[in-house]
Amino acid sequence: MREKSILFLKRLRALSSATLATKLLGYARDAALVAVFGGGALTDAYYAAFRILNLFRRTVGEGAVNAGFIPALEKEKAVSSEHGLRFFSAAWTLVFFLSLMLAGLGAFFRKELVELTSYGFTVRPEQFMLTASVTAILMPHLIFVNASALFQAALNAAGRFFLPALAPAAFSITIIGYLLFINRPGPAEIPDNLKILGLAGAATLSGLIQVLILLPMLKREGYNLSFSNPFKNPATARSLLLAAPAAAAMAQDQIAFFINTIYASFLEPGSITAIYNAARIIQFPISLFAAAAAAVTLPELSRHSALNRSEEFSAVLDGAFKTSALIIIPAALGLMALSLPICSTLFEHGRFTHEQSRLTAGVLFYLSLGLAGFGVNKLAASACYGAGNVKTPVKIVVLQTLLNAALCFPLMRSMGAKGLALATALSSLAASALFIRALRKNSSFSPGRPVFYFKVLGASALMCAFCLITARAMASFHPALTVAAAVPGGIAVYFAALKALKLEERRLITGGLF
């Protein structure tokens, strides 16, 4: 068991370190984007279109792959490697042609999609048409990122995590390169609308680059891109039945932010951009630990479930929850304490104003309230799929979506974009409570000793107090200096508190160094 724990941590660190590099590049990309275009109507148009793409990507691509492909691939590989290769070929055929069809339909019905998802833009015809054009240009990107999601899942199942997780950095690098190119001194000024359309083209190109990066690794594992009839493969049919209803559950956070975008289209310009940027910050600790832990544990949970190893299943999941909690809980409190300095440091450059930083910080503060819920939901949904339980996550996410939609309207009227963030946070926490209840009821899993979580919360509260005091004391300094002082100092306070509380599980993060 100790060797398995060490292997889990090794894989988690590999995936987390690659995710860290990708996320840091992502923040540089987002900061450069708003510096060039500002935080108003232009970026709202781009991000509204990108939300449409993201929803398709998370459901048809990453969501369907995580829900159905990895558990089914593990079962086929257990029979023989030949079975695994045939299953991959069938799944690749299905993902490719389904993505191709959706991309074509999305481009053709671009105006209808924008009207459905950003109806508030209809009173601003120029912004509406720009969003529709950006949507059409982004649609081919769907084919590439869905193929990449399949390739990454196959490589994860083979125990390869670092390089596959690093490949999405191609998106940020391509966008940054494009922004540097259009922002260089030149004899003629390109209209902003054309720059935004070019930005969408660069995003699509980055998807192709990501596929080309992953292909050599895929071939080294013995996979190829030959097509086969997916409906003649019984395993593909089973995984399709598993993935179809569960895909939306894996995209629960994207669905919530998608609902936010619909409501935000009726608010002041810049609201959609604020929600997008705040959500990107929230996704950092989620992707770095909760989503990474879910990706690492899913193949192992699927194997334990297939072999009816309930104790091993529970032990793996308990370790994933504790590892995530050690980061997610302090991250939530830290983001709430430093929301404005962080947003100002990351985004307040070029055409992005201080008022737009304040709007983004307000959204970030309320989204942070639900950060623990986002993390729990990622892990719990992954555990359910690993156990072959599809119905429970779907039911919970449907309830979460309905609650979010119901809360958005009254909270938006009273709080604007911040109210939309609060609605998302509350619905996420409600869903996490339902997920924990379902795991305790339907499996042998138990969240472990409550004292562990109380100690983590206590240490996080001390860290939060330090960050608040530091932010207040350095209010007259540049926000970047506040962040530079508060973040490492807060981390030191947090781990010192964990050590004083004799929480040995801290070594899951420190690797035994502290």
- Measured at the CA of 274, the angle between CA 465 and CA 399, to 5 degrees, comes to 85
Q: What is the pLDDT of residue 1?
A: 47
Which own/partner contact pairs does 110-119 have at CB distance under 8 Å and 24+ positions apart?
110/135, 110/136, 110/139, 113/52, 114/48, 114/49, 114/52, 117/48, 117/51, 117/52, 117/258, 117/261, 117/262, 117/265, 118/48, 118/261, 118/262, 118/265, 118/272, 119/262, 119/265, 119/266
Q: What is the DSSP letter of 498?
A: H
Q: Give the pLDDT band of residue 289 (cuts 50, 70, 90).
A: low
Structural domain includes residue 39? yes
Q: What is the pLDDT of residue 296?
A: 59
Contact 467, 338 (CB under 8 A): yes
Structural domain includes residue 96? yes
Contact 424, 367 (CB under 8 A): yes
Taken as a whole, the chain contains a residue count of 514
Q: How many domains does the chain have?
A: 1
pLDDT digits (tens, 9 = 90+) for 44-79: 999 999 888 877 776 655 555 555 666 677 677 767
* Closest to 22 (Cα-Cα) out of 224, 181, 190, 206: 206
Structural domain includes residue 485? no
Mean pLDDT of the residues in the chain: 82
Give exposure, 479-514, as e/b (b: 16+ Cβ within 10 Å).
beebbebbbeebeebbbebbeebebebbebbeeeee
For CA atoms 63, 67, 72, 75, give the dihedral sign: positive
- Cα torsion 474, 479, 484, 485 to 10°: value is 10
291 has pLDDT over 70:
no
379 has pLDDT over 60:
yes
Q: Give the pLDDT band of residue 510 (cuts 50, 70, 90).
A: low
Structural domain includes residue 511? no
pLDDT digits (tens, 9 = 90+) for 156-173: 777 777 788 788 889 999
More confident residue, 421 or 449: 421
| Mean pLDDT value across residues 35-40 | 87
Q: What is the pLDDT of residue 293?
A: 59
Structural domain includes residue 463? no
**Which of 99-113, 155-169, 188-202, 259-273 has maximum average pLDDT?**
99-113
pLDDT digits (tens, 9 = 90+) for 459-501: 999 999 999 999 999 988 899 999 999 999 999 999 899 989 8
Structural domain includes residue 215? yes
With 0.85 as the threshold, say if the pTM is over it: no
pLDDT digits (tens, 9 = 90+) for 203-228: 999 999 999 999 998 888 888 888 88
Q: Give the pLDDT band of residue 39 (cuts 50, 70, 90).
A: confident
Domain that holds residue 380: 2-448
pLDDT digits (tens, 9 = 90+) for 169-187: 899 999 999 999 988 776 4
Count Cβ atoms below 10 Å from residue 443 Cβ, excluding itself.
18
406 has pLDDT over 90:
yes
pLDDT digits (tens, 9 = 90+) for 299-330: 566 565 555 666 667 777 777 788 788 888 99
More confident residue, 4 or 216: 216
More confident residue, 272 or 77: 272
| Mean pLDDT value across residues 10-14 | 65
- The least confident of 169-178, 227-236, 253-262, 442-451 is 442-451
Structural domain includes residue 432? yes
Structural domain includes residue 437? yes
Q: Is 418 exposed, middle or buried (0-12, 13-18, 19+ CB in 10 A)?
A: buried
